[in-house]
Amino acid sequence: MPDRRRFDTILASRRSEIPRLAEIVQQFGAANRLSIDDMMRIRLVLDEIVVNIVAHGYEDAGDTNHHDIHIHLGLDDHDLLTIRVTDDAREYDPRNAPAPRFDLPLEERRKGGFGVHIVKAIMDTIDYRRVDGQNVLTLTKTLST
């Protein structure tokens, strides 16, 4: 019998894979009776992470080869959600991303960085490691279920 509290999948490193995240979150959320709000937060976080990997980790580096992006979702008995994303893109630790400067006029603000800011605001913990040429990003959030 499959464990509904764990979900693992692999996406290709293409923007066309992004819509699959909605299906993944819907399937995991329905199986675990997650609230709509929690599913929306999970979807937003995964969208931001995967788009950044594809756009900045591969495309900006001129890498058009096929790469796998591994996605793991897990929910423990205390409603602690773990999201783990593993890829072989350029090394990037989102914990070091500077916070957006909302106090500056729009034309003076640094381009980008809002997605990482959103992920940091939503999740309770963010851990990053580079292991054997792989980025391993692990995020946790206690859900409201």
Digitized pLDDT (tens) for each residue of the chain, 145 residues in all: 457 899 999 999 999 999 999 999 999 999 999 999 999 999 999 999 999 999 999 998 899 999 999 999 999 999 999 999 999 999 999 988 767 656 556 565 556 557 788 999 999 999 999 999 999 999 999 997 5
pTM of the predicted structure, to 2 decimals = 0.89
CA distances from 84 to 10, 26, 43, 117 (A): 12, 17, 13, 18
